[in-house]
Structure 1
Amino acid sequence: MSEETYEIQEAGAEAADEPVLAAEAAAQAGNSETHADAGGPDPDDPDAGDPEDVDGVAALELKPALEAVLMVVDEPATEEHLAKVLQRRRREISDALRELADEYDRQHRGFELRLVAEGWRFYTRAEYSEAVESFVLDGQQARLTQAALETLAVVAYRQPVSRSRVSAVRGVNCDGVMRTLLQRGLVEESGAEPETGAILYTTTHYFLERLGLRGLDELPELAPFLPEADAVEGDSQEGMPSFDVDDSGDEVHDRTQTEH
């Protein structure tokens, strides 16, 4: 082979390699731009955190992750909080929760997932409550007294309300009962009355949770439980003496003359 032929072949090989090198360079540049656009953490940034930690929760299957979190909550968890913890959009969380609730209903599980007090939590299904009571209570039950139930009802329907106003509605002093309700976590302090400075009280989320309500708007209407006007009027007049004014005056006058 002549020297001229060898130089021509070597030049052709270099020309053939140039498109390959150019394609590799373009691919590397494209990958760099893709990673930059993806918004991933910068490995050179010390505050960016570990990429595996960022992707760990978001990479989990959503429904099992929700079940795991809801198993350990001690109060209803809001959709916003769950979305933040699991690094998902709220719409995804909302749809998944409702799908889980429907699945448990179809399977007729011993528990159910319910939306209560603006949050989600597992609850025992009503038809199996006796089994849970038998296990947990062990024959001992702590119930609210009639006075406590009446006081709680006044707070629920009149809130925010002061102790003096509750006492006026019930007709008896309710300071001791209010302390009991505060200790049970059913009512809480909620500011002060502008005119008198008296502490105002409202019901708590725990109150809604215990009653299985989503909000105060689900409280039953009072009208069906109130007595008729005739019955109230009759009760108010019961035991009151009936007398004629003129007769009463004459009777007093006659008695006075007799005594003298």
Structure 2
Amino acid sequence: MSDEERRDSLADQAAAWIPPWERPTPQTPEATETEPPADPDLGTGVPLEGPDRTKIAAAGESAGEHGAIPGAVEPARVAEDAVGGDTRPGEPEGEGGASGVPGKRGRRRPAPVPEPAPVLDDAELRGALEAILLVVDQPVSELTLAQVLEQSPERIGPMLDEIAAGYTAAGHGFELRRAAGGWRLYTRPEYATYVERFVLEGQSVRLTQAALETLAVIAYKQPVTRSRISAIRGVNCDGVIRTLVSRGLVEECGTEADSGAFLYRTTTMFLEKLGLNSVDDLPPLAPFLPDDVEELADATR
């Protein structure tokens, strides 16, 4: 075969070569491929078959050797448009486009706007607060109630005060009051005898005199060490402190800087059991101290 015949044969093969992205699928060999009709750069949507397919194939090979041909469709552009799509004039370009692929252009999807929580009326808010307060096992703060009910914290405090005042005015056997930094329902002190008779029937849960004295020292002197408590009471208090810690009324709160001894303080349960909001609500000790307390203090030094 001469050189001229070989060149003609290669040209025929090149002209008959069909790119992979233009070949018909095996499932529908009779289907005719068309170009996307929307983009002006992609032609008019005329079926690619016969001599037109041959021309585009030849143009593709020629573009690979001599550069792009004006009006020819670039495969990379087709793939890019299929993934991300072009942004239209006047629209912002997202970093990843609508497809989320970095570097691809696409329409920016607006972020969803969360729907605002419905505002409860006073009657419904009052009922919701009462229902929650009936099931809590420890004082609950106003912020926690506001988060649970999805309401403004500024509405919770005044509503709780209104509920508490209503219980007092109606003379119920229970009341709503602040304790340990939160709110909880409590029985009224005038009915304590009946409640104690019901709760303590057949069991003994009272603290011993030594435990009460130790607890009082910790409450008024906290944070305080074991040695300081023993010095105030005049007896060893290790066993009593272990009892108070096991019942959740006292806890460790670090060590003393000079001696390294453990420090103790009262817990939230202590405030809850006594119905106090903080240790600042403890009654003052001055009315219960003897007149010669200063002399007694000097004598123990």
Fold conserved between structures, TM > 0.5: yes
SS of the counterpart of 2:135? coil
For 2:290 and 2:111, locate their aligned partners in 1 and report how far apart those are by CA, in whole Å.
75
TM-superposed deviation, 1:118: 1.4
Please tell me whether residue 62 in structure 1 is matched to residue 125 in structure 2.
Answer: yes
Please tell me whether residue 182 in structure 1 is matched to residue 248 in structure 2.
Answer: no
TM-score, structure 1 as length reference: 0.65
Question: For 1:99-110, what aligned pairs fall within 5 Å after superposition?
Answer: 99-110=162-173
Question: For 1:213-232, what aligned pairs fall within 5 Å after superposition?
Answer: 213-229=276-292
Opposite residue 218 of structure 2, the aligned amino acid is: V
Please tell me whether residue 76 in structure 1 is matched to residue 139 in structure 2.
Answer: yes
CA shift digits 1:153-185 (9 cap, x unpaired): 111111111111111211111110001101111
Task: Select 1:122's aligned residue among 166, 185, 195.
Answer: 185
TM-superposed deviation, 1:128: 2.1
TM-superposed deviation, 1:55: 4.1
Partner of 1:133: 196
Question: For 1:143-182, what aligned pairs fall within 5 Å after superposition?
Answer: 143-182=206-245
Query: Max radius of gyration: which structure?
Result: 2
Spell out structure 1 runs of 4+ moving beyond 3 A: 42-45, 230-233
SS of the counterpart of 1:197? coil
SS of the counterpart of 1:71? helix
Opposite residue 207 of structure 2, the aligned amino acid is: L
TM-score, structure 2 as length reference: 0.57
For 1:120 and 1:230, locate their aligned partners in 2 and report how far apart those are by CA, in whole Å.
38
Is the alpha carbon distance of 1:231 and 1:192 closer, same or farther for their aligned partners in structure 2, counting shifts above 3 Å? closer
CA shift digits 1:186-218 (9 cap, x unpaired): 111111111222111111111112122221111
TM-superposed deviation, 1:139: 3.7
TM-superposed deviation, 1:130: 2.5
Is the alpha carbon distance of 1:221 and 1:86 closer, same or farther for their aligned partners in structure 2, counting shifts above 3 Å? same
Q: Which is further off, 174-183 or 208-217?
A: 208-217
Question: For 1:183-222, what aligned pairs fall within 5 Å after superposition?
Answer: 183-222=246-285
Q: Which is further off, 102-111 or 206-215?
A: 206-215
Are 2:164 and 2:176, in contact at CA under 8 Å, matched by a contact in 1?
yes
For 1:224 and 1:72, locate their aligned partners in 2 and report how far apart those are by CA, in whole Å.
39
TM-superposed deviation, 1:134: 2.5
For 2:202 and 2:291, locate their aligned partners in 1 and report how far apart those are by CA, in whole Å.
40
Aligned pair count reads: 187
Greater RCO (Cα-Cα under 8 Å, separation 6 or more)? 1
Opposite residue 102 of structure 1, the aligned amino acid is: A
Is the alpha carbon distance of 1:187 and 1:43 closer, same or farther for their aligned partners in structure 2, counting shifts above 3 Å? farther
Unaligned runs of 5+ in 1: 1-41, 237-260
Percent sequence identity over matched residues? 56
TM-superposed deviation, 1:141: 3.0
Q: Which is further off, 135-144 or 88-97?
A: 135-144
For 1:217 and 1:230, locate their aligned partners in 2 and report how far apart those are by CA, in whole Å.
23
For 1:44 and 1:93, locate their aligned partners in 2 and report how far apart those are by CA, in whole Å.
31
